[in-house]
Amino acid sequence: MSRDQFWFFHPFRVRYSEIDGQGVVFNAHYLTYFDTSITEYFRALGYDQYADSRKTGIDFHVVKSLIEYKAPVLFDWELDVGARVARIGNSSLTFELAIFQKGGHEALVTGEIVWVYTDQKSHRPVPIPQSIRDFIATRERHLA
């Protein structure tokens, strides 16, 4: 993945508490970077996922997370995490994510997160409404 595939980026700086004994970001922290970036992605779109789930009783569940480590990410590096929706299914969203060193063009880490829109009482998938599809399509033209 390259930087030009993303319209949205969220910045991070690697904290000392996030590195392991080898001096690189501990693997579990990449999912936190991805999750935070997805939250900020929706904020940038103007969609309040939290408020919507409280109102409707329907929310997204993570059903898949994939991380590919291409290069080490080190303490105190400034990062840009790119996030985009690559696909919308009947009840699922597939996010593609990539971590770049600030100003860099080659992805250090890439990821895929799949969410399923789920009724919180039955825990069964439900179709993603057109209103959410429209929010996403305002920036993800390939999904319009």
d(CA 45, CA 50): 14
Q: Give the DSSP letter string of 47-93.
A: --HHHHHHHHSEEEEEEEEEEEE-S--BTT-EEEEEEEEEEE-SSEE
* List of residues 6+ apart from 93 with CB closer than 8 A: 60, 85, 87, 114, 115, 117, 128, 136
What Cα–Cα distance (Å) separates residue 114 from each residue in 17, 20, 21, 38, 57? Answer: 27, 27, 30, 11, 20
The pLDDT of residue 144 is 73
What pLDDT, on the 0 to 100 scale, is given for residue 127? 98
| Nearest alpha carbon to residue 38 among 114, 133, 137, 103 | 114
pLDDT < 50 regions, the chain: none
pLDDT digit string (tens) for 40-49?
999 999 999 8
Tally of CB atoms within 10 A around 74 = 14
Q: Which pLDDT score, from 0 to 100, does residue 25 have? A: 98
Amino acid 141: pLDDT: 86
- pLDDT at site 115: 98
Mean per-residue pLDDT of the chain: 96
